Amino acid sequence: MGRYLREILEKYTKTVVWGTGDFYAQYRELFAHQFAYFVDNDVKKWGCFLDGKEICPPEKLADEDDKNTLVIVCNHYFEEISNQIKQYGKFSLIDIVTMGLLNEKERNVTAQKPMKADRLVAVYGGIHAMWQTNGSRRFIEGQCAQIRRANFYTIEMIPLLFYEEGRQDSVYLALSADGCYCGIFSVYEFVEMYPRVRGFVIHSPYYSHGTVKVLLDSIAVEKSILYYIHDFSCICFYRFLHKNQELCIDENGKFCCSSCSEKYRHRKRVDFYRALFEKYGALLAAPSADTKKKAEQFYRNVRIVELPHLEYETETFQKAVNSRIRIAYIGAAIWHKGWEPYVRLVERFHQKYDFYCMGDCPERLRIPNVTYVSVGLSGYQGMPSMTEALTAHDIDIAYIGSLWAETYSYTYYEAYEAGCFIITNTRSGNVCSQVRQNGNGLVFSDEDEMADWLETEKVGRDIQNMNKRIKNVRDSGKFLSYLE
């Protein structure tokens, strides 16, 4: 385990692990550092043992000395769990994904190199966006590469999901200089090292709003502050617009805030961001017209600009449709991306069509009659990119069934580049908007309407009527004008 992470853990006389599910199973090798017991919300697990440790109800935390106890959260919903833990004391908390990624990064720490402030761009983003393999990381890495090609330096900051003694802001940053990891520093150490920067770019800060404020209060930014909308965390506490598989947006794209049981909490979130944008003059950067339109519902007096994340050309293209049409689910197999409706389509139509899944799909979610294909980000770990996989398997139809309003959706552009006909629904945000604008697929109001279309003989003709695709897809450099 890295020195910096070990120093955090060794501050405490007792450690408790919250969660006994998939996250613990994935990261259990990190627990050479001893912990006392598990806590879990599942009453059926209380009194049972896992890896020799007892699983206890959350109320057990009330008996602990919160000043000397660290809780490691092994759960996807870090914010929700942290709020629950507050009922029992001002405990220090750390996210298991943070621990895992730090453990990996700290094997290769590079010394910082001198960088001139007038050519330095600070890039701030959550650990899930900056270090995990996903579309946000792809965009941020591409943007940082463009910044450096324009003869700027980048200092990349990741707020750690580590709350010291119950303070609800991040007190440590993982720093990289021009893409080379430098280690962990306090917020105040960073400010001392970099009191002035040319530009400040913010991506998906997640739960570290206090840290953003401290940094912007302390650092002089010469040019622009750009806040990129990757998800809707600047609008809704639930950044993907769903809670417990209930959507925060209706089929017409309207927010359901007026009927939300937590609307006061969401209003506080919007008020915080509005103050942030108005006080510091940050430019709210939306990657698509659909996302910009949604942001304008909440931020009427804030500068919002559409900054597309990709550029491309179009070319004439005629799809040669397979005699047995091939349909591929593309992206991670999770419910808000539309996996469950896709499963039902497979069950209904597997004798008529060939079905594929191109993306991450855990074994527990896999079903028969689907060919599973691993893909990576631009050949990550030797795997084919999405476009390469769609082309290699000669996919006719790409299913992008997102139930939340996608902001970027690389998968849309990857499928378009591969010449696939795209089917989606009215809830899918930028995907829906782009399909309608470019005429390279169909948008359905619901699952039944999609199924009715698949029943017909129109499917092959509709695919053949698509007469173009895109090529030379690349990161857009339009944002650089705000730094020059």
Contact 286, 305 (CB under 8 A): yes
Per-residue pLDDT of 319-330, as tens digits, reads 999 999 999 999
Residues 6+ apart with CB under 8 A from 162: 8, 92, 93, 94, 95, 98, 170, 171, 172
Starting from the edge strand earliest in sequence, which strands make up the sheet with 225-228, in order? Answer: 180-186, 172-177, 153-159, 120-125, 199-203, 225-228, 283-286, 304-306
**Looking at residues 397-405, what average pLDDT do you find?**
94
Q: What is the pLDDT of residues 338-396, one digit of tens each?
A: 999 999 999 999 999 999 999 989 899 999 999 999 997 655 567 889 999 999 999 99
Question: Which stretch of DSSP H or E encloses residue 24?
Answer: helix 22-27
Q: Is the pLDDT of residue 170 over 70?
A: no
- 60-to-14, 22, 168, 192 alpha-carbon distances in Å: 13, 22, 22, 41
pLDDT at 345: 98
pLDDT band at 102 (very low <50, low <70, confident <90, very high): confident
Residue 175 DSSP label? E
Q: What pTM did the predictor assign?
A: 0.81
Which residues have CB under 8 Å from 371's CB, separation 6+? 354, 355, 356, 357, 393
Alpha helix ranges (H) inside 56-208: 78-85, 96-105, 127-130, 135-149, 187-193
Q: Which residue has the tokens 């695919």?
A: 463
pLDDT tens, position by position, 53-62: 999 999 999 9
What pLDDT does residue 476 have? 92
- Position 3 scores a pLDDT of 60
Contact 94, 8 (CB under 8 A): yes
State residue 275's pLDDT score.
Answer: 83
Across 165-185, average pLDDT: 78
At residue 168, does pLDDT exceed 70? no
**N residues, the chain:** 484
Distance between CA atoms of 391 and 450, rounded to whole angstroms? 24
Q: 361: left (phi > 0), else alpha (psi -120 to 50), else beta?
A: beta
The tokens for 410 are 């690389």
414-430, pLDDT tens digit by residue? 999 999 999 999 999 99
Residue 378 pLDDT: 57
Chain-centroid distance of CA 95 in Å reads: 16
Q: Which domains, from first to last, does the chain contain? A: 3-105 (3.40.50.720), 117-311 (3.40.50), 313-473 (3.40.50.2000)
